[in-house]
């Protein structure tokens, strides 16, 4: 078995210094300072080569958060034996393809673990892609080109029609911008009322700003959480067809936010089924917990890196739902934090909500 371990497209980082490695004639890696794990990413394939602690060691490879890999039922991958080096070191290898390879190249963890229980982590590394070009078929959407500046249009999907607003930087096709998606509360006052704040926050953090009206209505007007399953399908279609297909959006740098009914909707089917298309995080302001028929379909790796920030007040009638949301995502092993901003009533924070959102966006992006 021959592996091309050149580390040209994927940069490997850890607590120690990792040098570039190459292969000798017999297929074993040669490096001035041999690391424990090598990677090579090319196209839709990533090869992983691991130095074994000893010949015949009963170990395996686990991709995911460390705590997940320590579980008795952690999904383990066999390490296929490859040629050893002249110094007696033996190696194991795993090849990842397609979407798995894309995920590996975009900042996940890998652990060499013992098969024996209680399980032990023997070697660990976190992967971070340092070459934007390597994302050509990964998190970068590679849009065909569209209108820049700020504009508003309508979008129809399966009989539902609503408006949406986008504010796009002039150099979006040559730059590397993320996206801030804001979903309004019941009645949609903040679809227009928060638009100026959203644009300013988005442009300050190199994000394309997107506001979307709910396609369904309730007693209070347009509402996202009513018919949450079909609205999630609508939102997904809009983002795919009207944003991602037009602009070069870095899908690893996407923040979802909103107030009241918008975040309540997002904690349902949208979070469970569609959010894993993006890395980044969500800022749920004065929104509650919406239960849906669909369970969380995202992988444990995605759940480990997607960050959730919940903003509430003790006097908010949705405060209980916000607490439930925090508990649920904690059970899924996610990075979730809830902050209480005084004792005000619904969406009446002690601080300006635009200030809260700006701070949370900065926090999430800095932690990428």
Q: Does pTM surpass 0.85?
A: no
Domain spans in the chain, listed from the N-terminal domain onward = 12-135, 149-366
List per-residue pLDDT tens for the chain, 368 residues long. Answer: 222 222 222 333 322 222 233 333 333 333 323 334 544 444 444 556 666 555 556 777 777 777 778 888 877 777 665 444 444 445 555 655 444 444 444 445 677 788 888 888 877 665 544 333 334 335 677 787 899 999 999 999 999 999 999 999 998 888 889 999 999 999 999 999 999 999 999 999 999 999 999 998 877 789 999 888 899 999 999 999 999 989 989 888 999 999 999 999 998 888 888 888 888 999 999 998 865 555 676 677 677 789 999 999 999 999 999 999 999 888 888 899 999 999 999 999 999 999 999 999 999 998 87
| Fold adopted by 12-135 | Immunoglobulin-like (2.60.40)
CB 256: neighbour CB atoms within 10 A?
A: 25
299 CB burial (10 A radius; 0-12, 13-18, 19+): middle
What's 149-366's CATH class? alpha beta
Give 113-138 pLDDT, tens digit per residue. 888 888 888 776 655 443 333 343 35
Supply φ then ψ for residue 239, to 5 degrees. -65, -40
Q: CA 271, CA 284: separation in Å to the nearest integer? A: 12
Q: Quote the tokens at residue 59.
A: 């170990």
């Amino acid at each position: 078995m021959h592996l091309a371990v050149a580390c040209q497209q994927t940069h490997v980082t850890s607590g120690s210094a990792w040098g570039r490695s190459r292969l000798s004639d017999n297929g074993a890696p040669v490096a001035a300072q041999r690391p424990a794990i090598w990677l090579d990413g090319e196209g839709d394939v990533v090869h992983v080569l691991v130095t074994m602690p000893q010949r015949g060691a009963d170990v395996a490879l686990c991709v995911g958060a460390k705590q997940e890999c320590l579980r008795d039922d952690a999904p383990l991958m066999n390490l296929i034996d490859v040629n050893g080096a002249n110094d007696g070191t033996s190696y194991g290898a795993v090849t990842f393809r397609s979407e798995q390879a894309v995920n590996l190249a975009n900042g996940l963890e890998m652990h060499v673990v013992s098969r024996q229980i209680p399980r032990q982590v023997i070697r660990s590394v976190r992967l971070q892609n340092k070459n934007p070009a390597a994302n050509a078929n990964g998190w970068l959407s590679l849009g065909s080109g569209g209108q820049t500046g700020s504009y508003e249009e309508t979008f129809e999907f399966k009989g539902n029609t609503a408006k949406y607003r986008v504010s796009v930087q002039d150099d979006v096709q040559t730059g590397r911008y993320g996206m801030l998606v804001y979903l309004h509360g019941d009645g949609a006052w903040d679809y227009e009322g928060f638009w100026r704040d959203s644009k300013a926050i988005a442009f300050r953090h190199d994000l394309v700003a997107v506001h979307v009206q709910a396609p369904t209505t309730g007693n209070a007007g347009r509402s996202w959480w009513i018919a949450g399953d079909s609205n999630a399908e609508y939102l997904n279609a809009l983002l795919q067809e009207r944003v991602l297909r037009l602009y070069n959006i870095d899908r690893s740098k996407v923040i979802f936010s909103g107030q009241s009914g918008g975040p309540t909707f997002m904690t349902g089917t949208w979070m469970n089924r569609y959010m894993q298309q993006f890395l980044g995080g969500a800022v749920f302001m004065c929104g509650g917990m919406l239960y849906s028929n669909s369970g969380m379909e995202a992988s444990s790796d995605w759940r480990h890196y997607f960050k959730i920030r919940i903003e509430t007040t003790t006097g908010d009638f949705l405060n209980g739902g916000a607490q439930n949301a925090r508990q649920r995502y904690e059970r899924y092993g996610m990075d979730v934090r809830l902050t209480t901003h005084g004792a005000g009533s619904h969406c009446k924070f002690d601080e300006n909500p635009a200030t809260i959102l700006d701070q949370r966006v900065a926090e999430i992006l800095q932690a990428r």
